[in-house]
Structure 1
Amino acid sequence: MNRFLKISALLIVTASFWSFPFLSSGQNVESNNPFGFVWDEDRKDPLPSSPPGPEKKPKGLLDLFNQFKDDSQPELENITESEIESDTSAVLESKSMVQVPQSIPKKDYDAADFDDPFYRVRGFQGNTEKVLQPGTTLDGVQFQNYGDSEKFIERFYRESGFSIDKIFGKIKYLEKRGGCYTCHQGIEEISSNHKFSCVRCHGGNRRARSLPKAHKGLVSNPSSMENAPRFCGKCHDNHVKKIGRSSMATAKRIINITRFGWGAQPEDEMPHSLYPGEQEQPYPPTGEEHAVDGFLKTKCLRCHLDAPGPHRPGDYRATGCSACHMVYTNDGISLSHDRAIQALQNNNKKQNRFKRKFASKSLSNRRGYPLLHKFTTAIPSTQCEHCHNNNGVGEEYEGLFAKPSRPRSTPKSISDEKPVLYGKEHEFLVPDIHREKGMHCIDCHIGDEMKPEIEPEALRSAVQIRCTDCHGTPSKKPEGLLLIESDAKTKQLLKKANLNPNLRKKIRAGDTVLVNSNFSPMMHIKQAKDQWVLYSKVTGKKHIIPLLKNIEPSVAHQIPKHIDEMECSACHARWSAGEWGMHLIREKTFAPEKWKNWNLSDPDLQEQLEGNETEGMINWLTAKSRPNNIEGDRVPGYWWSVFAETGWSDLIMGKNNRGKYSILKPRYQYFITDQSSPLGLPTKRAEPPLTLEGGPGLIWTSYSPHTIRKTVRSCESCHQNRLSAGLGDPLRQSIENATSFMDELRFNNGVLPRFQLKQGVTQIGEPLQTALPNEEIRFLNAEEINALQETTDSYRAYRFLNLRELSFPRLLSRHEFPYDRRHRAQENIMGQPPLQDDLYYNVEKNQFVKVAPEIPAVDNSQIQEKVSHRETAPQESAPPQGEIGKKNNIIEFLYDIFQDVETQQPETDELPLEPLPNHESLPIFEP
């Protein structure tokens, strides 16, 4: 009781003390408030105080700062009555908020309209000047470049683009003891829906007291294609069957398109499959194998669902179901609490896995481990890119272009320290806009694509999503499906969506979800009033989808054929990785001295060039990933592959199986050199194979580049562009007659010197290369080619409106294309760019050689005359085929170079090899 009285007395004294200086009787509250405001407890904004006494004149703004300590007033100048406003108080009392006018919309583009695609390379450095270095192009244009680029490149390669809590949700660590947990204590529970004992899925003996006995009968990956029917199939039999029919498992497109191109099977033959179903043949075929089968086993079939990934950065992955649902990072490092995995990682030698010297030993490196021992349906893009790279959609989506295999330009000691991903160095280009906004592959490509209910016919793609599914058209909005609560299918769809930690409680019965072109519900995209909202399956981020119907159409969208007859990617794809002319050299014995200075990316050849030589190359159909290496059967011989040319700016147009104009891409243009005869003499010298139908084995397929941007390519990238129409480079010679080309191919096993890798069709629409599937995909015909090359009044009008819309006044007044007067003057000041050596394959010496190009003599007077009379000179008709050799154009193929390395210029009247054109000889295009 005494203690309670003491505390009460202390509180009373304290309260009296604090009230004395602030609330003493007679104190004017306003004396401590020089601004004349008091605060209302129920609102946050200040209210004017109400002091007692007569009303005072309101104080001006300057009076708040002119507080005088005494009553003295400043001396005032004599001010006449006319200079004073008549009613100052009224003006101050009636003051109201000023309405800010709306900002004027911009008409021009500036740097603020374009996001920095290298923000991840730049890192968190706020001041970009600290990481940028100035540079100057050949024609004098200044630019900024990243300084120590290798550190930024490695950081880019390391970044996974996801957070653990988003893709896994709640993580439960098993801290049990005894049995398997004696070694694996702390391991993560693989899923809240898979609360099984370890031996239920992995086998083994949990009661054994020694490691060999405990691991007897152990299955490290029960979800592999071999083990999935026995383990996963107990509960997920339908999923296991569907994944076994997917193109990722059967590899039907890879096998049958390649075999058709090499003449090993007709197009209408029953297709081969790694997991054959009805009306399919097993692969490999029985009986005598074709040469293409050795190529497929050692090269192409490294990428299918049951093939292990090489032990190098970017390629760490599991097989079967775990190839998707068990996440690996690019460096293969695990963050699992499993004591056994952490002990193995800690005992390994610490080294930078992203350096080339580590990646070049991918068959003898230790294996990588999954990020966590946990399944997920929130699969990040990096997981897809463990397989979908190789200058395909995965690398394009990230803005990466793999550099081609070429002789090293630096010593091996320096090259070995360079960072690589998938065994390659990369150029950094602009990524896809969807990637830049934070979307991942599965935000567009849903599970029904990977595991379709109905398998696509023949060799067609299984892709279901289309751009118009989400963005609609200028006249139509996307289609949706109402989720009815009483519908059994709705309950099934909601249950499936709730397995993703980022979709729980975001989609409910009564919502309208989007359906794709195959009428498959996309449960992460729902309608919200007049908008469509996408919730990323990997990040949970909310994305408002822009609808074309709600956007004022651009000039290009006002052309009906652009909307109705073209794929969106034909214009909106900013670039596409192109690989032209695949030279395949088959050798009987391993000759490292020829290739030791090359930056090859094939994991088997890299391993052997590092000194770990073995007989033949690994058969990826039999390869198995072991803790310390990759093992498998060996196939006799060695296949070396080199592309003659690579780039990203040349996009060729054609028609796809949907009847729409799209991008066509070579997959691949084969040129085979066979050195595997008993005497080592070449039985083939850079010969294109022939199909059984008699066509060239130069295969093209339709393609949708994953480099979509809001800013499209220019109109001239297709119109008035011979290259885009499939006619080849206008500065080179080209084939005018398909009959003579095919005769040379069939009777002499070669191509004419005038042939170009990028020419797929003649001016009159005769195909020179093979588009697959036949009768579904084709190059442009003569009518379409002529329409692209003509400059009709309609095209001129649309082009003018487009340039005016883009606010490009200089382009509207130009006299030449693509060079304006200022650019031409700058080129004349800087001079000609240095010549680059051309790379040719010398069959006699079985190696690539460099040939210095020469510039042909050009009569400038004729060009000046042509420029001065370009408006009045009539168009010249195409010269006869016999006169083609008289042009000063470039020859791309010349087999004489194969005979003698020292002979750089033939002694005949033929043209020099690959001269770079003089800028003055560029053809004039009418704007």
Structure 2
Amino acid sequence: MMRCIVALFLLLSAALALAGENCTVCHKKVVRGAHRGLPCLSCHLDETRTLANPASRESGAAGCVGCHKGYAALFDHAMGSRQGERDFVAASYGRVDKGFFGNNCGACHLGGCTDCHAGRGHEIGKPRDRDCFTCHKGYFVGTDYYGMAPREDSMRYQRGEVAYGEAYLKMTPDLHAEAGLSCGACHTMKSLAAGRKSAKVCTDCHEPDRRVPEHRIAAHLEKMECPACHSAWAAQEYGTFFLRFSNSPSQELYALRRDQAAEEYVKSAYLRRQDAPPLGLNARGMVSPIRPEFIAYFTDVRNDRAVWDENRLLAARWKAFFPHTVRRGTVMCEGCHENPRRFLLERKEERIYQLQAEGMTLPSFWDATGQQVVNGAFYPARRYQVLSGKTAEYRRAYLEKWQSLVNHVEASSAR
């Protein structure tokens, strides 16, 4: 009888052991961070059919969304789907190279939750700015928040300080960065999962100061996005060249960064600027900063000769955007009201770059002819005629602006 009881006890003990987790018998893993103390199967789901990567896009983040409800939707929005980039490539470089996107555009965007959540093995935590800047750097809005602008592609300019794998120019940072606000102050997980770029707009925190002359002009507040005036600078790339080489030793003569393109490609830009961005209309019809999404040129080089048109223009697309370079000060009145070039209405006699003389198709980068804004429109010429009229109201505001600057005296030293 006693033997039967002992045997039954051993069988029950074995069954209980099999029913519990025994992952760490083989897997010497220690869970740290936000998930410390959780059993393995909280994320890996099933011991017999273990989910190897519970945070991956392929699994729909099945190991995460059991607790973090609704966040699988992130994979369907811009960060995960890359639909904007895919559409652009399909309409441009993809026309001449079907594999272009996979070979040249696969480094960024969401592959799983741990891309952002400090995914070093089993150390899960809340995203930090440095996690965002894995992708949001260079020509993608992000590191400009901390005053980092992309350098030229030529290796002679790939020098100085490096952050997040990019050599950068030191520029004026966003005043919110100076105040200590991180990316998450405006870009919450809930807003991203809902497909919104941010959780807040400027007026959620700031009330326009009516003592500022510009804020007393109704059209400024009713028709303009805040960054149209308050963006100190923005990275702008005019003319993005991809050259594809086959059986062409001359490829080695190009002293350019080679980490931006597939092995058979060389990438460079005609011109890069880091000043106040041009203005157009966004999807809401509001005046907004715009810049080239890419003015895309392509050359196919075989046996060191261009196969057909050299520098063939494949797309000239602009995009309304929000530079993360906000400052309190703004441009003077004439910076918009007497500057048609800023609205891509450059006068022919004022052109400096003669693009057509160099076989680049467009009459000018700052002439809307042959170009488009994918999420808005260029500023209409007829509206600019009204904007540039020096009415009595404009003259009064202009004088008041200058008086406000003349009468504004900064303390010479701290007291």
Secondary structure in structure 2 of the residue aligned to 1:390: coil
Q: Distance in 1 between matches of 2:125 and 2:272?
A: 37
Task: Indicate conservation of the 8 Å contact 1:223/1:322, yes or no.
Answer: yes
Quick check: 1:783 aligned with 2:382? yes
Q: Distance in 2 between matches of 1:666 and 1:303?
A: 19
Q: Distance in 2 between matches of 1:685 and 1:768?
A: 18
- TM normalised by structure 2 equals 0.81
The C-alpha deviation readout for 1:751-783, integer Å capped at 9, x for no partner, is 26xx222322xxxxxx4311114xxx1111122
Secondary structure in structure 2 of the residue aligned to 1:684: coil
- Closer/same/farther in 2, CA of residues 659 and 230 from structure 1, 3 Å limit: closer
Task: Indicate conservation of the 8 Å contact 1:652/1:724, yes or no.
Answer: yes
Secondary structure in structure 2 of the residue aligned to 1:180: helix
Indicate which of 140, 144, 148 corresponds to 1:400. 148
Indicate which of 798, 801, 818 corresponds to 2:397. 798
Residue 376 of structure 1 corresponds to: 125
Mapping of 1:362-373 within 5 angstroms? 369=120, 373=122
If each structure's helix is expressed as a fraction of its own residues, which one has the higher value? 2
Residue 296 of structure 1 corresponds to: 101
Indicate which of 741, 765, 772 corresponds to 2:374. 772
Q: Distance in 2 between matches of 1:227 and 1:726?
A: 46
What's the offset of the Cα at 1:390?
Answer: 2.0
What's the offset of the Cα at 1:582?
Answer: 0.5
Q: Distance in 1 between matches of 2:220 and 2:33?
A: 52
- Closer/same/farther in 2, CA of residues 189 and 430 from structure 1, 3 Å limit: closer
Indicate which of 364, 378, 389 corresponds to 1:756. 364
Quick check: 1:664 aligned with 2:290? yes
Q: For residue 201 of structure 2, what is the amino acid of its counterpart?
A: R
Task: Indicate conservation of the 8 Å contact 1:652/1:665, yes or no.
Answer: yes
Q: For residue 570 of structure 1, what is the amino acid of its counterpart?
A: A
The C-alpha deviation readout for 1:697-729, integer Å capped at 9, x for no partner, is 200111111101112222222121122121237
Mapping of 1:205-220 within 5 angstroms? 219=52
Task: Indicate conservation of the 8 Å contact 1:590/1:638, yes or no.
Answer: no
Residue 465 of structure 1 corresponds to: 200
Secondary structure in structure 1 of the residue aligned to 2:79: helix
- Closer/same/farther in 2, CA of residues 181 and 381 from structure 1, 3 Å limit: farther
Task: Indicate conservation of the 8 Å contact 1:721/1:788, yes or no.
Answer: no
What's the offset of the Cα at 1:796?
Answer: 1.7
Mapping of 1:485-504 within 5 angstroms? none
Q: For residue 190 of structure 2, what is the amino acid of its counterpart?
A: D
- Closer/same/farther in 2, CA of residues 292 and 421 from structure 1, 3 Å limit: farther
Residue 413 of structure 2 corresponds to: none
Larger radius of gyration: 1
Secondary structure in structure 2 of the residue aligned to 1:718: helix
Q: Distance in 1 between matches of 2:258 and 2:116?
A: 28
Task: Indicate conservation of the 8 Å contact 2:278/2:342, yes or no.
Answer: yes
What's the offset of the Cα at 1:667?
Answer: 0.6
Task: Indicate conservation of the 8 Å contact 2:149/2:171, yes or no.
Answer: yes
The C-alpha deviation readout for 1:667-698, integer Å capped at 9, x for no partner, is 1001111125x885422311112xxxxxxx20
Residue 9 of structure 2 corresponds to: none
Q: For residue 40 of structure 2, what is the amino acid of its counterpart?
A: S
Q: For residue 444 of structure 1, what is the amino acid of its counterpart?
A: C
Secondary structure in structure 1 of the residue aligned to 2:343: coil
Residue 287 of structure 1 corresponds to: none
Residue 476 of structure 1 corresponds to: none
Q: Please provide the CA RMSD for this pair.
A: 3.4
Q: Distance in 1 between matches of 2:145 and 2:43?
A: 39
Task: Indicate conservation of the 8 Å contact 1:727/1:734, yes or no.
Answer: no
Unaligned runs of 5+ in 1: 1-177, 206-215, 265-289, 307-319, 328-368, 456-460, 472-546, 606-616, 618-636, 690-696, 736-740, 761-766, 810-927
Secondary structure in structure 2 of the residue aligned to 1:647: strand
Q: Distance in 2 between matches of 1:233 and 1:301?
A: 25
Task: Indicate conservation of the 8 Å contact 2:341/2:366, yes or no.
Answer: yes
Quick check: 1:442 aligned with 2:177? no
- Closer/same/farther in 2, CA of residues 596 and 771 from structure 1, 3 Å limit: closer
Quick check: 1:431 aligned with 2:208? no
Residue 269 of structure 2 corresponds to: 643
Q: Distance in 1 between matches of 2:214 and 2:43?
A: 60
- Closer/same/farther in 2, CA of residues 217 and 595 from structure 1, 3 Å limit: farther
Task: Indicate conservation of the 8 Å contact 2:288/2:321, yes or no.
Answer: yes
Task: Indicate conservation of the 8 Å contact 2:161/2:168, yes or no.
Answer: no
The C-alpha deviation readout for 1:187-240, integer Å capped at 9, x for no partner, is 526526x711369629889xxxxxxxxxx9783x42111234543344456332
Residue 340 of structure 2 corresponds to: 722
Q: Distance in 1 between matches of 2:384 and 2:269?
A: 28
Residue 188 of structure 1 corresponds to: 32
Mapping of 1:160-199 within 5 angstroms? 180=24, 184=28, 187-188=31-32, 190-191=34-35, 195-197=38-40
What's the offset of the Cα at 1:654?
Answer: 0.8
Q: Distance in 2 between matches of 1:786 and 1:572?
A: 23
Q: Identity percentage over the alignment?
A: 23
Q: For residue 351 of structure 2, what is the amino acid of its counterpart?
A: R
Q: Distance in 1 between matches of 2:323 and 2:352?
A: 28
Quick check: 1:323 aligned with 2:91? no
